[in-house]
Amino acid sequence: MKSFKSIRKTITEASDEYTGFSRRRIGPLDGDNSMDFNQNLAQLNPSEIDRMNTYLGALSAKPYLDPNQAFREVHSKLSITGLHFDVDWKDDLRRSGERVYPISLFGGSFGSDGKTYGTSSDDNVERRLGHKLGLLISSQPTSSGMTNLRAEIVPM
């Protein structure tokens, strides 16, 4: 009978041959994160936005007793990737409705525009993609007192 270590080594060697290049290790020593090492979510390519929408799609997998706490987790996870949006934390997500929060990358930029003595501000998204992005949150209370959430990054 083979040990788990030998099976794991066989799988790792097979994946190295398949990709054709050696990869650096990310994560724990026994982890195999070969697909994640070259992802920079702050680049805002369509594939990175799809990955973030996949994470946000996991929100709709279950209803929440406190949807506001789930939304706080989304806010903190997206801020790790550099995406920022201003939230009125007094807004209660237990009420039904859709909300759109404009997204900025790294909080946007502010400063001299270089042409006049005025200042300019930018969300750092529109000049990369050609359009603005927003976080669409829709909430729907259920009859059991729970709330279904759906979140998605959408073009604005």
Do 115 and 76 sit in the same domain of this protein? Answer: yes
| Interatomic CA distance for residues 67 and 94, integer angstroms | 7
Do 16 and 57 sit in the same domain of this protein? Answer: no
| Interatomic CA distance for residues 66 and 21, integer angstroms | 46
5: which 2 tokens? Answer: 């270590």
Render pLDDT for 39-84 as a digit per residue (tens, 0 to 9): 666 667 777 888 888 888 887 788 888 888 888 888 888 888 888 8
Residue 29, domain extent: 1-38
Do 130 and 118 sit in the same domain of this protein? Answer: yes
Q: To the nearest whole percent, how much of the chain has pLDDT over 70?
A: 72
Do 5 and 73 sit in the same domain of this protein? Answer: no
Do 64 and 140 sit in the same domain of this protein? Answer: yes
Do 34 and 51 sit in the same domain of this protein? Answer: no
Number of domains in the chain: 2
Do 110 and 134 sit in the same domain of this protein? Answer: yes
Alpha-carbon Rg for the chain in angstroms: 21
Averaged over successive runs of 10 residues, the pLDDT of the chain (156 residues) comes to 74 50 46 51 75 84 85 87 82 83 82 68 79 88 88 88
Closest CA to 139 of 80, 91, 73: 91
Do 95 and 31 sit in the same domain of this protein? Answer: no
Which pairing describes strands 119-122 and 133-141: parallel, antiparallel, or unpaired?
A: unpaired
